[in-house]
Structure 1
Amino acid sequence: MISSDDLRFFALLASHTSLAATARALHVTPPSVTQRLQLLEEKLQIKLLHRQGKHTSLTDEGQLLSERAILILAEMEDLHQTLSQQKHSLVGRLKILAPFGFGNQYVAPLAAQFQAQHRNLSVELELSDNPKHQPSQAWDLIIHIGELHDSTMIKSVLAKNQRFLCAAPSYLEKFGQPKTLQELRQHHCLALRENAEDVTLWRLRLNGKQKDETLRISPQLASNDGRVVKQWALDGYGIMLRSEWDVAAEINTGQLVKILPRYKLPNADIVALLGSKEAQRSARTMQFLDELKRSLNPAPWQN
């Protein structure tokens, strides 16, 4: 019979793409992970994992075990939490995935405050701008900005968020401000590579029109770090497409100037993604979500 420790081990293993990554997460050696996996497979008399070079993938049986393990562990933690309610405290572990910039500025401080209010609770916050590479089952809550690829999860809108094209006054003084999309093609453009989006295809819609126009840029500078791209723009290296939450302050102070203000870009609302099954949504998750919504209403960048 498998134990809860076996379930925790396999749930963690299933959330990584290699045995080496699992070993790093457990702070052990890869051979010890391999040995533990073999013991679990022998105990169950089934193969749980395919190995393809350095990478791994779940067998059908492994996928089933992973899904059931997550549900069982969630139920166990909820039971623990229910038994501890007489102490009026949240317990267990809250795992949050958020984008780098937004997570650092708005989620991280709240996560620390939330844990300080609930001393029996541990909070794990991971920042990543490539959420598609992270299995959604590994997280209690995912904060996402932009185009949504996984429609199986429950979406809760945290704040409205526009996107703008903008550049520093120093850049515009040197190269001029484009008045049309055709003129924009001749400018230095900056690209932020995040969320596995096609970041070199900009979609804009002229006010009053019903159809988007598209512009394929050839960025002179590109990065996967929004802070880097923003600093490039502030330093006058080019025009960037960026979210309101990140540039509203600089636009208000004149450090950045909106480009083609008669055009509107697709919104990139800030949302929280939750597991589609109620058993995956614990009290600690829902309470943190409530706190997050309160902290973003009204949106701090719109004040």
Structure 2
Amino acid sequence: MNDSADIRFLLTLRESGSLVAAARKLGLSPSAVTQRLQQLEKKLSAQLVNRTARRLQFTEEGTLLCERGADLVQQFDTLFEDLQMRRGGLVGTLKINAPLGFGRRHLAPVIADFQQRNPDIDVALTLSDKPLTETMDRFDIVVHIGELPVSNLIGYTIAPNSRFVCAAPALIRRIGTPDSPEELSKLPCIVLRENNEDVSLWQFSKGRTRRSVRVSAHLSCNDGDVIRQWACEGRGVILRSEWDVAEDIAKGKLVRLLPGWKAPDADVMALTHQRAGLPARTRHFMQYLQSRFRPQPPWRR
């Protein structure tokens, strides 16, 4: 294994999950991918992958090579990108994963502007309703909203973001205005399914007082735009991020409920694998992303 090409090939196999998918990504035939894998195993005198019809299962040796090799490839790319930077340009591919709604409304325009400013960088944006459950190795940056679960990822704050309980004026006229979080359990509510969280358990605080309320949700969806639209139509009460409902509140389509009670904040974070040794394109994008949401994010302007 004289250069990084073999490691990159093996990493592509792991990312793809099957020989057919890897062949499609590499622009080769499945037989050519199989032949290259066999040549690599022969060169190393070790079996790296157990092949089946449906999936690839990496051996202990193959897993070790991928884990350590990924760090070596990262260092290799960072070195040459830093050299390229000395010549005045950013290069390479930046792979980003982000939540559906936030990605569409707030992140996509930022990415397009960044790429236009840096034409030698290719940016691949993937939108998902479960960004943290995706294979993190596939992405340079994962944008996450809310509390960060325990992990080895490094988080960078992009923008502050509160969460509000909201309902349409028509619904409030029909059911009345709740005076306490406990009253929400008796009202029609709508929940957003995301990140495998317990989404029907709503938590609030007022000073040192804490309240947890189990709401009854006859409507739920994994798309925030859908539940916001349902709320605007008067179909139920929602607990939603400030970035998503601030404009509807300003226009009077939604009314904030229980303003004296605070739901847990859900700040916008950018997650990376490591703090040191990030490629130049990743560092510059992080700086550009933070600058676009300062001094105030769009939903607070």
Same fold (TM over 0.5): yes
- The answer to whether the 8 Å contact 2:130/2:195 transfers is yes
Q: Give the 3 Å change call, closer, same or farther, for CA 96–161 of structure 1 in structure 2.
A: same
- Following superposition, the deviation at residue 228 of structure 1 comes to 0.9
Partners of 1:186 and 1:64 in 2: how far apart?
Answer: 54
Partners of 2:202 and 2:26 in 1: how far apart?
Answer: 41
Q: Does 1:293 align with 2:287?
A: no
- Aligned-residue Cα RMSD (Å) equals 2.5
- Following superposition, the deviation at residue 47 of structure 1 comes to 3.6
Partners of 1:121 and 1:74 in 2: how far apart?
Answer: 16
- Following superposition, the deviation at residue 105 of structure 1 comes to 1.7
- Look up the match of 1:61: 61
- Look up the match of 1:224: 222
Q: Cα deviation per residue 1:117-150 (whole Å; 9 max; x = unaligned)?
A: 2222111111112123223232221111013124
Greater displacement, 1-10 / 284-293: 1-10
What SS class does the counterpart of residue 111 from structure 1 fall into?
helix
- The answer to whether the 8 Å contact 2:242/2:299 transfers is yes
Greater displacement, 47-56 / 231-240: 47-56
- The answer to whether the 8 Å contact 1:166/1:259 transfers is yes
Partners of 1:174 and 1:29 in 2: how far apart?
Answer: 63
Residue type matched to 1:234 in 2? C
Q: Give the 3 Å change call, closer, same or farther, for CA 182–191 of structure 1 in structure 2.
A: same
- Look up the match of 2:155: 155
Identity between Structure 1 and Structure 2 (%):
42
Partners of 2:28 and 2:131 in 1: how far apart?
Answer: 25
Partners of 2:186 and 2:23 in 1: how far apart?
Answer: 49
- The answer to whether the 8 Å contact 1:15/1:134 transfers is no
Q: Give the 3 Å change call, closer, same or farther, for CA 24–243 of structure 1 in structure 2.
A: farther
- The answer to whether the 8 Å contact 1:2/1:43 transfers is no
Q: Does 1:70 align with 2:70?
A: yes
Partners of 1:33 and 1:221 in 2: how far apart?
Answer: 47
Q: Cα deviation per residue 1:167-213 (whole Å; 9 max; x = unaligned)?
A: 111222222222233321121111111122111211112x22x2432
Partners of 2:157 and 2:275 in 1: how far apart?
Answer: 18
- Following superposition, the deviation at residue 19 of structure 1 comes to 5.1
Q: Give the 3 Å change call, closer, same or farther, for CA 34–178 of structure 1 in structure 2.
A: farther
What SS class does the counterpart of residue 186 from structure 2 fall into?
coil
Partners of 2:238 and 2:116 in 1: how far apart?
Answer: 38
Greater displacement, 18-27 / 243-252: 18-27
- TM (norm. structure 1) is 0.88
- The answer to whether the 8 Å contact 1:132/1:196 transfers is no
- The answer to whether the 8 Å contact 1:93/1:124 transfers is yes
- The answer to whether the 8 Å contact 1:156/1:273 transfers is yes
What SS class does the counterpart of residue 234 from structure 2 fall into?
coil
What SS class does the counterpart of residue 110 from structure 2 fall into?
helix
Q: Give the 3 Å change call, closer, same or farther, for CA 176–30 of structure 1 in structure 2.
A: farther
Q: Give the 3 Å change call, closer, same or farther, for CA 11–277 of structure 1 in structure 2.
A: farther
Q: Give the 3 Å change call, closer, same or farther, for CA 4–232 of structure 1 in structure 2.
A: same
Greater displacement, 220-229 / 179-188: 179-188
- The answer to whether the 8 Å contact 2:133/2:195 transfers is no
Q: Give the 3 Å change call, closer, same or farther, for CA 145–59 of structure 1 in structure 2.
A: farther
Q: Give the 3 Å change call, closer, same or farther, for CA 27–172 of structure 1 in structure 2.
A: farther
What SS class does the counterpart of residue 212 from structure 1 fall into?
strand
- The answer to whether the 8 Å contact 2:186/2:216 transfers is no
- Following superposition, the deviation at residue 45 of structure 1 comes to 3.2
- Look up the match of 1:132: 132
* Structure 1 residues 69-108: aligned runs within 5 Å: 69-108=69-108
- Look up the match of 1:263: 261
What SS class does the counterpart of residue 250 from structure 2 fall into?
helix
Residue type matched to 1:218 in 2? S
Q: Give the 3 Å change call, closer, same or farther, for CA 58–129 of structure 1 in structure 2.
A: farther
Q: Give the 3 Å change call, closer, same or farther, for CA 197–19 of structure 1 in structure 2.
A: farther
Q: Give the 3 Å change call, closer, same or farther, for CA 36–165 of structure 1 in structure 2.
A: farther
Q: Give the 3 Å change call, closer, same or farther, for CA 238–35 of structure 1 in structure 2.
A: farther
Partners of 1:126 and 1:290 in 2: how far apart?
Answer: 20
Greater displacement, 58-67 / 96-105: 58-67
Residue type matched to 1:252 in 2? A
Greater displacement, 232-241 / 135-144: 135-144
